Structure 1
């Protein structure tokens, strides 16, 4: 049994050192140790029982738009290896401590049980360089009683704008995010976060964003963001 563990670890190290490429939108098939059973990571950007009627309706509408290929639904997992995540690790020192930390890491917005925190799905339009996030904030994201915490909506704005920058820009990080909060968002309500890539100047990507009600009649927030495409020759540490 100990030999099996050692062999599995050596295999994983070999795959990572070889720089194995994994498609952006395909889940990684993990294999349980001591078993031949394949484990498919759960895609959290799909409806679950906690989704409200408004969120499901908007989801269905955008899935219709995906049928002609103009829009694409982006899968979302708690943690998975993709080529981008492998590339991102090259910015860190190659130390045992960092590797152990990354192996335990998971996406911040997927850390809650279904319905309690961030429920969302992001759609992307490549021709228009635009993302739309359908977001429902659960009861664990409360700020002022009855309303969504400002930090929670800022997180989702950053995630949506960041995805809009990352698809054309590759590995990017937020340099500036400026948010104007117009109105508080009722807890557990559904909002639509629209993000647009405005221009690219060298390694700088400029984007704009707005947050509206499900029927898009109420403007809750507006934002602008600056993202920087990272230089692969430089370390972040």
Structure 2
């Protein structure tokens, strides 16, 4: 039975939810972004002009990265703007640092009016993981430890800041914190261990 399932999966074609010719960069401002998110975006876009920071495009499929794969990206699984993960990322190679400017939409609600802790874990894993990928190449999350301090109101703007702290062989150690857009409120801190892919 397992072999039969394996053959079936091997023969099954993966269908994309978004054809590659319609590829949209979701990391660009849209009408649902609040003023604070737009202001932070413009600040980092300005910092990108001298080459120290690089804006990371954000698509809802991985079809443009890998041939024959068209699976929808988890963070970009909604077809309407503003409902889920509204974010953009910027990378600084010299600092081995990835920042994510994030606005949680109403579909991410946990306690009434606040983002679910799982979506906070997701944006931490995605930001720190992207930083590890841009620093070292392909990685997988091995461990993620999060301390939550303050709940995150839906629709607010968050600054997610991750650093690759050290690399030991295939192990990539990162740290991350989430704070309010103005740096006044610390919402969460995390440490992560990623394992570099064995090619």
Q: Assess same fold via TM > 0.5.
A: yes
Q: Distance in 1 between matches of 2:119 and 2:135?
A: 25
Q: Corresponding residue for 2:100?
A: 133
Structure 1 runs not aligned, ≥5 long: 1-28, 31-38, 87-98, 233-237
- Aligned partner of residue 151 in structure 1, secondary structure: helix
Shift of 1:40: 4.6
Give the distance between the partners of 2:129 and 2:35, measured in 1 at CA: 27
Post-superposition offset of 1:81: 3.3
> Does residue 1:46 correspond to 2:28, yes or no?
yes
Alignment: residue pair count: 180
- Structure number with larger C-alpha Rg: 1
The unaligned stretches of length 5 or more in structure 2 are 1-18
Which digits, 9 at most, give the CA deviation of each residue in 1:60-108, with x for residues without a partner?
A: 000000000000000010113355x45xxxxxxxxxxxx6xx43x1100
The structural deviation recorded for 1:193 is 0.3
CA separation in 2, counterparts of 1:111 and 1:219? 28
What's the TM-score once normalised by structure 2's chain length? Answer: 0.87
SS at match of 2:89: strand
Match of residue 154, structure 1, among 121, 129, 134: 121
Segments of 4+ moved more than 3 angstroms: 80-83
Which residue of 2 is the match for residue 61 of structure 1? 43
Residue 210 of structure 1 corresponds to: 177
1:124-182 CA-to-partner distances (Å, cap 9, x unmatched) read 00000001100000000000001000000100000000001011221100000000001
Structure 2 Cα separation of the partners of residues 152 and 221 of structure 1: 12
> CA RMSD of the aligned region, Å?
1.4
1:106 to 72, 92, 105: 72
The question of 1:179 aligning with 2:146 is answered yes
Matches within 5 A, 1:1-237: 30=20, 39-82=21-64, 85=66, 102-103=69-70, 105-112=71-78, 113-232=80-199
Change in CA separation of 1:164 and 1:192 when aligned onto 2, cut-off 3 Å = same
TM-score by length of 1: 0.73
